[in-house]
């Protein structure tokens, strides 16, 4: 009986919690289920979802990327300065941050795969290095339209309308970031489940030595995973800048815990038992719904970390209790 209850909780627990949270917040605040509020929730979780998808890739190959938050901050301020300081065209504003994200991922891969530093330590070091670089680059200032420069002059540029549309615009009444998120989730799901490269990633994460003996280029697969992790964090950074219309130096700081929590909640969605992008999406939904509902209840923002930490602990507890229970059978 106990094992059946545990199995049910592991399979449907996350979805049940999402449903209960929605019912609760809808009951205490009639504005919660309005179209505008649901749009705001989905728009806000789109950034977390992109960052969490990157973490999912690193988790699939049995790794971990702690540098995604710093990557978000770096790419946010780079995109902002290219418009505000240098008045670069949109194509450059988009491609340079994406390239930076990939380079950060490749740096992580080099430290982990070639130098053989444990992933947590390597990406922790990268997190601090990247954080220091982008704060040095901006001298610790956030970037905004026609900002005052240190020499007393004003920055010549401002955020372009086409860039802001990416984070604030709508297409057929649906926020653009939400459309991008849904497209990304579908494409990544298809890639991971139905392509040879996706299956190789899961095999590599499951048993690296067995994967190597079966002819899978293990190191290449791991490098790819970390590069993709950096790429998706960079997309999150671009969306963040486009959504708020400024480059915040600490933009990615809260996103690390939220994305990690989303990934681990995703382990238990429909009993997947492994990193998967559909589960990650629902994990991001849970985080977004909770934070939005707490905001509507006027809960102080500094209490949000308690909620995030609690969600992460519960997700980890459910995952490891199920693993332990499975081994005992």
For residue 5, the Cα-to-chain-centroid distance in whole angstroms is 31
Q: What tens digit of pLDDT does each residue of 74-110 get?
A: 999 999 999 999 999 999 999 999 999 999 999 999 9
Length of the chain, in residues: 329
CB 264 within 8 Å of CB 315:
yes
Residue 13 confidence class, pLDDT cut points 50, 70, 90: low
Q: Which segment, 40-44, 129-133, 250-254, is predicted with the most confidence on average?
A: 129-133
**What is the per-residue pLDDT across 189-247, written as a single tens digit (0 to 9) for each?**
999 999 999 999 999 999 999 999 999 999 999 999 999 999 999 999 999 999 999 99
Q: DSSP states of 18-82 as a string?
A: HHHHHHHHHHH-TTTTSHHHHHHHHHHHHHHHHHHHHHHHHHHTT---TTHHHHHHHHHHHHHHH
- The b/e string for 84-101 (b: 16+ C-beta within 10 A; e otherwise) is bbeebeeeebbebbbebb
pLDDT in tens, 239-292: 999 999 999 998 998 899 899 989 988 887 755 578 999 999 999 998 899 889
SS3 251: coil
Query: What's the whole-model pTM score?
Result: 0.92
pLDDT tops 90 at residue 21: no
Dihedral (CA of 2, 7, 13, 14) sign:
positive
């Amino acid at each position: 009986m106990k094992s059946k209850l545990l199995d049910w909780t592991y399979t449907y627990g996350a979805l049940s919690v999402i449903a209960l949270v929605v019912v609760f917040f809808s009951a205490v605040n009639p504005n919660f289920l309005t179209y505008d509020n649901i749009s705001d929730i989905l728009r806000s979780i789109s950034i977390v979802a992109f960052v969490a998808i990157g973490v999912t890739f690193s988790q699939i190959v049995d790794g971990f990327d702690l540098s995604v938050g710093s990557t978000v901050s770096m790419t946010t301020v780079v995109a902002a300065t290219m418009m505000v300081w240098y008045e670069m065209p949109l194509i450059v504003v988009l491609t340079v941050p994406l390239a930076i994200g990939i380079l950060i991922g490749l740096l992580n891969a080099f430290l982990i795969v070639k130098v053989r530093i444990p992933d947590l330590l390597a990406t922790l070091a990268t997190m601090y290095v990247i954080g220091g670089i982008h704060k040095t680059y901006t001298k610790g200032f956030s970037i905004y339209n026609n900002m005052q420069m240190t020499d007393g002059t004003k920055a010549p540029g401002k955020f372009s309308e086409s860039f802001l549309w990416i984070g604030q615009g709508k297409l057929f009444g649906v926020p653009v970031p939400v459309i991008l998120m849904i497209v990304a989730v579908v494409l990544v799901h298809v890639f991971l489940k139905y392509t040879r490269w996706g299956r190789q990633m899961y095999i590599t994460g499951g048993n690296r030595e067995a994967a190597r003996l079966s002819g899978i280029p293990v190191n290449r697969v791991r490098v790819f995973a970390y590069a993709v992790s950096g790429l998706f964090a960079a997309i999150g950074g671009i969306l963040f800048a486009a959504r708020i219309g400024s480059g915040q130096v600490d933009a990615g700081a809260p996103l690390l815990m939220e994305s990690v929590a989303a990934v681990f909640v995703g382990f238990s969605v429909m009993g997947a038992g492994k990193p998967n992008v559909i589960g990650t999406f629902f994990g991001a939904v849970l985080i977004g719904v909770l934070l939005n509902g707490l905001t509507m209840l006027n809960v102080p923002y500094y209490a949000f970390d308690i909620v995030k930490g609690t969600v992460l602990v519960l997700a980890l507890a459910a995952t490891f209790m199920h693993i332990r229970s499975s081994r005992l059978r």
